[in-house]
Structure 1
Amino acid sequence: MQLFTKVIIVFVFIGSIIGCSKPVLPNESMFEVGIDDLSDIQVNQPFKITGYLMNNSNYQWELWHGAGIFTYEIYDEEGTLVSQNQKMLFRDDIGYIAKLEPNESYRQNGEEHRSKEYYQFTITNPGRYKIKAKAEFKVSYEQLKYNYLITSDEIYIMIK
């Protein structure tokens, strides 16, 4: 009988701990933005940049974003933003909803809903360049939306 009582007490204790635990809210530190490997890029040859959003948490999150979730910036050796010679850009204001599993990465350049100039670039001078990606998205959790704008670490590439 004493063993039965102890087992019941243990289960009640474990149940109260689990029942009283606070929900984990999404926060920026759970996510990482990066750029897929870029190699062998040549002067005056178009190249595509693909960004990713990594879920470094142990939780599944529901992402909400537009076709422009990822934007990219390229800087030359002097730190000047490299502009692209685009005449007109278009983008559909479409919305995406996606599940991001724990330790999963998400890639969506919105290629079918925006001009290629948002993710395809051409560099006209050889040299060393710095690239950053930014991801703008929302996480929906318990009927609330949490807004994020996260910038990747800088990566460096050589244009030959």
Structure 2
Amino acid sequence: MASTPRSVWHNPVHFLAFGLGSGAAPRAPGTFGTVAAVVIYLLLPVSNPLLYSAILLLSFAVGVWLCGKTARDIGVHDHGGIVWDEFVGYWLTMLMAPPGWFWIVVGFLLFRFFDIIKPWPIRWLDRHVHGGLGIMIDDVLAGLFALVCLQLLAAVI
């Protein structure tokens, strides 16, 4: 992985794209970014699905811009430290999730699984879609896969 650019600590756009600095972790920045996403998830209005969905859509749209601009500025497409996409992917996983720490952890594990393994078509999108949308889309799809699995699991437990 490329080293963390110093601009992460001075440029607010880069700071956000690097997940409030969580993506600057020297190892497993995606996992650290997802941990930060969990912390923020605890502050989101999860009991209001309409408002939560609006926040998700806004976070995605802002993320396309944030991630694309940061990648252009630092000259590295999809730098491992850009983890805003992990934020949105995890939050999508948790859309209408049952309450409680068990489900927060299950959502975390499912999202990380799909984000790391990248089954088809996630891997294809990761390789063929570029720019800010390309950075975001594979994590959004991983979040959708994890969301479906989480909801199915919740339905049978």
Q: TM-score, normalised by structure 2?
A: 0.27
Structure (1/2) with the larger strand percentage? 1
Q: Which is helix-richer, 1 or 2?
A: 2
- Point out which structure has higher relative CO (alpha carbons under 8 A, 6+ apart): 1
With the length of structure 1 as denominator, give the TM-score of the two structures: 0.27
